[in-house]
A and B are shown apart, each in its own frame.
Chain A
Amino acid sequence: MQNLLCTNPSFSPVLIHNFSLLSFIYSVALPRMSSKAHSSNNIAHARRTVQQLRIEASIERIKVSKASADLMNYCSEHARNDPLLMGIPASDNPFKDKKPCTIL
């Protein structure tokens, strides 16, 4: 704790009480950080993760039964237009071999 106070030139004596408490928690709760940049990166990263998770947790979801029904509906509506699924006659598929044609 002494190290943290000494390396901080802008430290204000008025806030000693709060900082002591925080520094104490900080030094007890975590392994001692070797650099200030490393610890503030971790905090920023953790904050970003919490923020991200909050966003993800709050989105609206529907039941899998409803989602599945919709997926199935889409498939059946479009099935007849799906050449790979239905198979289309050679005359309609430019890749399938047709009867040879004479070149005029």
Chain B
Amino acid sequence: MACQGLQKGETLASLKRECDNLKKKLEEERGKLNDVELHQVAEKTEVLGALSVKTRRVLKGHGNKVLCMDWCKDRRRLVSSSQDGKVIVWDAFTLNKEHGITLPCTWVMACAYAPSGCAVACGGLDNKCSVVPLSLDKTENLAAKKKSVAMHTNYVSGCTFTNSDMQLLTCSGDGTCALWDVESGQLLQSFHGHTADVLSLDLAPSETGNTFVSGGCDKKANVWDMRSGQNIQSFESHESDINCVKYYPSGDAFASASDDATCRFYDLRADREVAVYQKDSIIFGASTVDFSLSGRLLFAGYNDYTINAWDVLKGTRVSVLFGHENRISRVRVSPDGTALCSASWDNTLRIWA
């Protein structure tokens, strides 16, 4: 029936009206609590001096654009993936390449280190995310032991292990995020709500419970409950694709980087954007963000080949890191906060400290 599902008096028009009313109410409720700006509250905080951070290592070895990287919990190893299908595990102290995996697909856009340090996950244009156990035997062909875990209907743009090696969370160009059991490859939960490609996700710090945030081409950042699959909160203030989302260390807030050349900071308990990191001189899109250990600094990588360090509280730029010769695809602070690693389309990774 054409009218099937309509309740008495309910029409598409009335549902649309309720939608608009609810959206207005949401804005009003959020606005009521906006009594002061974050940077105003932060006026009494000390101004930060310029950072004495320089390039300490340059990791050369990829033959094409490096698209993603992730640190191991041991604070010295890291995994990186590139456009030519190669995934490399490095010892960042010695620059030694410990493992090399060749995938049959190009554009490996996502890679992650398992919490145990014994495996890595990677995925991209093959629409899959696979887990590869790392062997101590250097002669072993790791690609042969690769296990497909996640299956999407479009490219995989991001992946992360949850608190153990047993579960993998992925996001994809098919507009969904999904939670998988690594052992069986079973889909445990799927997350629907984005209306375009999802480009990034980040898991909440373990103390704050089972949620994660995702951002995508629909300009929205959504916060999800991992158990129920429910979209808990949604933020839409960016003017273009959101390329990266990252939680603040306390888990009460998150930052996002977008093609609109701004990075933004959202507080989850106030349910609104509380800061925008932008400058008239910055006109290229931001592709990646990460916080320093205390959350005071936000490192953001841009398509103009630079990394900007922002004072999260005051909203001002503290430093600019130059060195890469092409776009920055990913920045990540090491687990103990001693260094920043950046991956770039110039085929290299840099360690800054």
Chain B residues closer than 8 Å to A81, beta-carbon distance: 293-294, 337
Contact in complex: B338, A68 (CB < 8 Å): no
Instruction: Please give the distance in Å from A11's CB to the nearest CB on chain B.
Output: 7
Q: How far is the CA of A25 from the CA of B269 in the complex (A)?
A: 42
Chain B residues closer than 8 Å to A84, beta-carbon distance: 51, 53, 292-293, 297, 333, 337-340, 353
For B52, B274, B295, the residue with the greatest tally of chain A CB atoms inside 10 Å of its CB is B295
Contact of A69 among B11, B41, B338 (CB under 8 A): B41
Chain A residues closer than 8 Å to B294, beta-carbon distance: 74-75, 77-79, 81-82, 85
For A36, A49, A84, A96, the residue with the greatest tally of chain B CB atoms inside 10 Å of its CB is A84
| Contact residues of B between 188 and 235, Cβ < 8 Å to A | 193, 230-234
Instruction: Please give the distance in Å from B71's CB to the nearest CB on chain A.
Output: 13
Chain B residues closer than 8 Å to A77, beta-carbon distance: 294
B 174-194 binary contact with A (CB < 8 Å = 1; else 0): 000000000000000000010
Q: Which residue of A lies closest to B40 (CB)?
A: A68
| Contact residues of A between 41 and 70, Cβ < 8 Å to B | 42-44, 46-47, 49-50, 52-57, 59, 61-70
Q: How far is the CA of A70 from the CA of B294 in the complex (A)?
A: 13
Chain A count of residues within 8 A CB distance of the other chain? 62
Instruction: Please give the distance in Å from B61's CB to the nearest CB on chain A.
Output: 18
Q: How far is the CA of A81 from the CA of B335 in the complex (A)?
A: 12
A-B interface contact total, Cβ < 8 Å: 207
A4 proximal to B (CB < 8 A): yes
Instruction: Please give the distance in Å from B254's CB to the nearest CB on chain A.
Output: 12
Chain A residues closer than 8 Å to B351, beta-carbon distance: 95
Chain B residues closer than 8 Å to A29, beta-carbon distance: 11-13
Instruction: Please give the distance in Å from B176's CB to the nearest CB on chain A.
Output: 15
Q: How far is the CA of A76 from the CA of B295 in the complex (A)?
A: 9
B 241-277 binary contact with A (CB < 8 Å = 1; else 0): 0000000111011000000000000010111101000
Contact in complex: A64, B274 (CB < 8 Å): yes
Contact of A22 among B11, B16, B269 (CB under 8 A): B11
- 27 residue pairs from A and B, CB less than 8 Å apart: A4-B2, A29-B12, A30-B11, A36-B2, A39-B2, A43-B6, A43-B12, A52-B193, A53-B19, A55-B232, A57-B22, A57-B26, A62-B270, A64-B35, A64-B272, A68-B36, A70-B252, A71-B274, A71-B312, A74-B249, A75-B312, A83-B337, A84-B292, A84-B297, A84-B340, A84-B353, A95-B351
